[in-house]
Amino acid sequence: MQHVTLNNGVEMPILGFGVYQIPPEQTQQAVADALTAGYRLLDTAAAYGNEEAVGAAIKASAIPREDLFVTTKLWVQDAPAEGNTRQALETSLAKLGLDHVDLYLMHQPYGDVYGQWRAMEAANREGLAKAIGVANFYPDRLLDLILNNEITPAVNQVETHPFFQRTADHALMREHGVRHQSWGGFAEGKNGLFTHPALTEIGTAYDKSAAQVVLRWLIQRDIVTIPKSVRPERMAQNLDVFDFQLTDDQMAQIAALDTGETLFFDHHDPEMVDWLSKRRLDS
């Protein structure tokens, strides 16, 4: 497995396993299968409702804790955000059955962002989170957070796939030492990604699928990715992307697919901001 080094020296696998939209009752088995396949980066969130199942799979695996990289995420917290953020992290740790996470992300750029970030900085200093970062931050919000706080986010996890490539975002993250991480790398199959002619044609040259081409493309852009699947054979296939290299021409062909627009939801849309900001999780 290829690793990347975060801005605080923490090592992170470049390819991991995500559990977004996996029902809690299926998550433990899915994570167990992923660990058996060889994944060591696991990505969950309080908002996914499956942290306990991820923790149960980790416990049952008997894999040494130091060999795992576990990410979870903080949902938008009510004011005062600092105390509620600490409580939310402790709740996540209890559900995961862990004494620390390797990466703790602010899931949305809303609410008392500064209060949440100060509490996350404190958790990082105490060792409850080896690294801290954000998700869904556009360049303006990310730069504002960087310029006005002590700790620069180690990671920004954002929608990134062949149809929304985030080239300018990537450049800003690289400039400031923030690791770009992709969610939705397969665009959930939208725009016919799994059978897209350009991707399948490239894959034919290496006896790889369109999905494997996408993962290889992300890795060659130095982007951490966390594909999801509940099928063991697909999990294994998603890991099998380190034995080929896309050419510059092939990378350019994929670059040409960029529309520059989200396929899911716009964090600048007032209705979406209102919905995300008001959503609260059950404890």
List, by residue number, the catalytic residues: 48
Residue 155 in contact with residue 224, Cβ under 8 Å?
Answer: yes
Q: Which of 25, 37, 24 is nearest to 16 (CA)?
A: 37
Residue 112 in contact with residue 140, Cβ under 8 Å?
Answer: no
Q: What is the DSSP letter of 25?
A: H
Retrieve residue 238's tokens: 């998603």
Phi and psi dihedrals of 76, rounded to 5?
-60, 125
Residue 214 in contact with residue 221, Cβ under 8 Å?
Answer: no
HSE at residue 267, side-chain half, CA atoms within 13 A, is 13
Q: Distance between CA 28 and CA 244 in Å, rounded?
A: 31
Q: What is the DSSP letter of 8?
A: T
Q: Distance between CA 232 and CA 227 in Å, rounded?
A: 13
Residue 162 in contact with residue 199, Cβ under 8 Å?
Answer: yes
Q: Where are the extended beta strands (E) located within the chain? A: 3-5, 11-13, 17-18, 41-43, 69-74, 103-106, 132-135, 155-159, 179-183, 224-225
Q: Which of 164, 158, 178, 54 is nearest to 107 (CA)?
A: 158
- The angle at the Cα of 42, spanning 41 to 43, to the nearest 5 degrees, equals 120
Q: What is the DSSP letter of 182?
A: E
